[in-house]
Amino acid sequence: MLFNNVFELVSSSWKLLNKSRKFYLISPIATRRSLSVQYGNSALLTAGAKSYINKCVSLCQPDRIHICDGSADESKLLQELMLKQGTITRLTKYTNCWLARTNPADVARVESKTFICTDRKDQAIPVTPNATAGALGNWISPADMEQAVKERFPKSMRGRTMYVIPFSMGPVGSQLSKIGIEVTDSPYVVESMKIMTRVGNQVLEKLQSNGDEFVKCLHSVGTPKDRKVAVPSWPCDPERTIILHKPDSNEILSYGSGYGGNSLLGKKCFALRIGSTIAKREGWLAEHMLILGITNPKGKKIYIAAAFPSACGKTNLAMMTPTLPGYNVECVGDDIAWMKFDSEGVLRAINPENGFFGVAPGTAMSTNPNAMNTIFSNTIFTNVASTSDGGVYWEGMEEPNINNVITTDWLGKLWSKQSGKPAAHQNSRFCTPAIQCPIIDPCWEDPQGVPISAILFGGRRPKGVPLVYEARNWSHGVFIGAAMRSEATAAAEHKGKVIMHDPFAMRPFFGYNFGDYLKHWLSMEKRGRVPKVFHVNWFRKSADGKFLWPGFGDNSRVLDWIFRRVHEEDCYVDSPIGYLPSEGALDITGLQQSVDLKELFNVPNDFWQQEVNEIEQYFKTQVGEFLPKEVFNELTELKKRVNKL
């Protein structure tokens, strides 16, 4: 048990006194300060849930407890509260839409303050003589984690309400789903979790029958040491922000930030970091992947999962409107896939989430009409600009009336295009229910999951990497995932245009040693029929810096080739890096711009020799002895083929 010394103060049983509609929780701490359960039905709590809440209470010492039921009435209550506190404003142009402005120091995930806690360092990350700190995650020892918790969480909820959010990742009751309980002092987190996950009494009921097994998620926005809260409507403690994961006990503790991936603990912390460790133990995969269904003109449908690093257009691809006639794309999820072989050996995937937490800038009718048609009801916007007619604005939005309204930027200052500054923060977001997506897949909540026929890896590669190529086999596919690189994302601290390694698009999200992760991926071949693997790159540029490929809906042309390869059509040629579309196999009929296919599919000798060297160096320095020999062999084979170019 974690933090015994803190928790042993607490009696393991609760005495609940029902006083009119109120329950009073009496514990050694609570005898000093009576603690009311001001909302929710504590009778539904399991013994495990009670015990966990009790520990959080004694550690954080909130004034009140609110057990979330997931209802609309509850949302109304919290919206009113957040309006009063100034955390949100109502966006009157739309239905049930809200704008939150954060403390400007709390605007994104913070990778450098995100840790995996294991007994040994090499259980969390590959330990090598020259590893770059943080390259494949950060490790913290149990003692240091305990210290970090002791320095931050005690009394962190004094004067505040502790919200208890029972949530399901995946449809409630699916064999592929998992339950979590997030305890937080942020009503914004509650309302966002109610969009991003399935929250409420049905989850507590499920918990009664699933052996009381849940991921423990404790979150506090915290208070700075000097107690000076810079932005009272958005309390946080950026200096001491820390996000801790303990895979051994399925625990997450997050302090100091109210933002996105740091605070909506179902997402990156649970569904990816803790999720990947559970998946390893149980023999399945928790991945940073969108899931889409694509139907061809003959009415045949397949599902594809695709991993791209943050801010590479996953949401756009997941909701794509194909330009290729007769094709139809439907969205299962835009960020995370949990995939497991069924008893027939078919790899089945669910989207564990219930909403989209998408990047606003760049989202427009021209780039993603389906997202635009999703987000203007029941949505929480964060750090976008607002307009005097009760609307929102961000860069790239194509708002025709933007000159007729007064615009306020994400910092709350009057804004005009002439200011030269962005109106919305580059990592501003919409948090919106997936069910509202006009092309949500009819099977998106199928408890069995959808069958996956192809896995795509990709990234922003301005040079050298063709539009699409296919892996020769599974271990080659695993190598391609391991060797993924992309221009750096804007979501984290890494800014500027560097081509960063981002294996499997999981670099910030591995819950355990990347070398063991690779072994786990390789082992999937023994468990069932593995899908074909492809690498795509929509972002190759010509010598004069222009994109060679139009992207967006025209990516359906690439999906068409992948579709045909899944059905074993002989439409490929061999190349040193994998299989490329054969001459004429990529359908470019009706393309609105001319494309230089030769340049788009060129595999330059010098580029690939450098690439192979770079990958070798990366594996050597960052993965070292943990690299599986199969992956090393794939590198060696690629090297040989490239050197023959």
Sheet holding 407-408, edge to edge: 392-393, 385-387, 407-408, 414-415
| CA-wise closest residue to 183 among 256, 254, 259 | 254
Pattern 71-90, ligand O2Y, x by CB under 6 A: --------------------
98 binds ligand O2Y (CB under 6 A): no
Among ligand O2Y, Mn ion, none, what binds residue 532 when CB lies within 5 to 8 Å by partner kind?
none
Give the nearest distance from C-beta 310 to Mn ion in angstroms: 5
Give the nearest distance from C-beta 396 to ligand O2Y in angstroms: 18
Q: Of 256-264, 405-413, 527-535, 603-611, which part binds ligand O2Y (CB under 6 A)?
A: 256-264
457 binds ligand O2Y (CB under 6 A): no
Give the nearest distance from C-beta 106 to ligand O2Y in angstroms: 10
Residue from the set 137, 260, 352, 361 that interacts with ligand O2Y by CB under 6 A: 260
Among ligand O2Y, Mn ion, none, what binds residue 126 when CB lies within 5 to 8 Å by partner kind?
none
Give the nearest distance from C-beta 446 to Mn ion in angstroms: 23
Smaller CB separation from Mn ion, 288 or 476: 288
Residues 6+ apart with CB under 8 A from 117: 124, 139, 140, 141, 142, 145, 244, 245, 246, 247
| CA-wise closest residue to 388 among 419, 372, 409 | 409
Among Mn ion, ligand O2Y, none, what binds residue 259 when CB lies within 5 to 8 Å by partner kind?
ligand O2Y
Neighbours of 81 (CB within 10 A): 15
Neighbours of 373 (CB within 10 A): 14
Among ligand O2Y, Mn ion, none, what binds residue 538 when CB lies within 5 to 8 Å by partner kind?
none
What residues from 119 to 148 belong to the interface with ligand O2Y (CB under 6 A)?
none
Give the position of tokens 């539009």: 467
CA distance linking residue 265 with residue 217, whole number of Å: 7
Contact 365, 372 (CB under 8 A): yes
Pattern 287-316, ligand O2Y, x by CB under 6 A: -----------------------x------
Contact 14, 50 (CB under 8 A): yes
Pattern 268-307, Mn ion, x by CB under 5 A: ----------------------------------------
- Any idea what DSSP says for residue 443? T
Among Mn ion, ligand O2Y, none, what binds residue 357 when CB lies within 5 to 8 Å by partner kind?
ligand O2Y
Q: Of 7-15, 141-149, 257-265, 592-600, which part binds ligand O2Y (CB under 6 A)?
A: 257-265
Smaller CB separation from Mn ion, 27 or 310: 310
Give the nearest distance from C-beta 320 to Mn ion in angstroms: 17
What residues from 417 to 436 belong to the interface with ligand O2Y (CB under 6 A)?
427
Among ligand O2Y, Mn ion, none, what binds residue 261 when CB lies within 5 to 8 Å by partner kind?
ligand O2Y
Among Mn ion, ligand O2Y, none, what binds residue 316 when CB lies within 5 to 8 Å by partner kind?
none
**Residue 168 one-letter amino acid:** S
**C-alpha dihedral (74, 78, 81, 86), degrees to nearest 10:** -160
CA distance linking residue 61 with residue 169, whole number of Å: 28
- The string of DSSP letters for 289-321 reads EEEEEEE-TTS-EEEEEEE--TTSSHHHHHT--
Residue from the set 261, 322, 459, 553 that interacts with ligand O2Y by CB under 6 A: 261
What distances in angstroms separate CA 516 from CA 122, 255, 268, 509, 627, one per listed residue? 10, 29, 19, 14, 8
Contact 508, 262 (CB under 8 A): no
**Phi, psi at residue 241, to the nearest 5°?**
-55, 135
CA distance linking residue 600 with residue 598, whole number of Å: 5
Smaller CB separation from ligand O2Y, 106 or 441: 106
Set 312, 431, 437, 571: catalytic member: 312
Give the nearest distance from C-beta 288 to Mn ion in angstroms: 6
**Residue 30 one-letter amino acid:** A
Among Mn ion, ligand O2Y, none, what binds residue 109 when CB lies within 5 to 8 Å by partner kind?
ligand O2Y
> Is residue 25 classed as helix, strand or coil in its secondary structure?
strand
335 binds Mn ion (CB under 5 A): yes
> In this structure, what token pair is assigned to residue 494?
């890494």
Give the nearest distance from C-beta 107 to ligand O2Y in angstroms: 8
Mark whether 312 is an active-site residue.
yes
CA distance linking residue 11 with residue 29, whole number of Å: 9
| CA-wise closest residue to 317 among 301, 339, 299, 293 | 293
Smaller CB separation from ligand O2Y, 116 or 302: 116
| CA-wise closest residue to 138 among 492, 484, 509, 486 | 509
Long-range residue pairs from 119-122, CB within 8 A, at least 24 positions apart, any chain: 119/248, 122/513, 122/626
Give the nearest distance from C-beta 489 to ligand O2Y in angstroms: 7
Give the nearest distance from C-beta 262 to ligand O2Y in angstroms: 6
Give the nearest distance from C-beta 491 to ligand O2Y in angstroms: 4
Q: Of 209-217, 239-247, 294-302, 308-316, which part binds Mn ion (CB under 5 A)?
A: 308-316
335 binds ligand O2Y (CB under 6 A): yes
Smaller CB separation from ligand O2Y, 483 or 491: 491
DSSP run (H or E) holding 246: strand 242-246
259 binds ligand O2Y (CB under 6 A): yes
**C-alpha dihedral (230, 261, 266, 318), degrees to nearest 10:** 140
Q: Of 59-67, 86-94, 258-266, 629-637, which part binds ligand O2Y (CB under 6 A)?
A: 258-266
Residue from the set 99, 108, 124, 375 that interacts with ligand O2Y by CB under 6 A: 108
Among ligand O2Y, Mn ion, none, what binds residue 491 when CB lies within 5 to 8 Å by partner kind?
ligand O2Y
Distance of CA 496 to the CA centre of its chain: 22
Give the nearest distance from C-beta 429 to Mn ion in angstroms: 11
Sheet holding 88-90, edge to edge: 88-90, 98-100, 380-382, 429-433, 355-359
> In this structure, what token pair is assigned to residue 472?
């020769």
Give the position of tokens 């790239």: 396
> Which residue has the CB atom at the shortest distance from ligand O2Y?
260
Interaction site with ligand O2Y (CB under 6 A): 108-109, 259-262, 310, 335, 357, 427, 491
Residues annotated catalytic, as ranges: 312
Interaction site with Mn ion (CB under 5 A): 310, 335
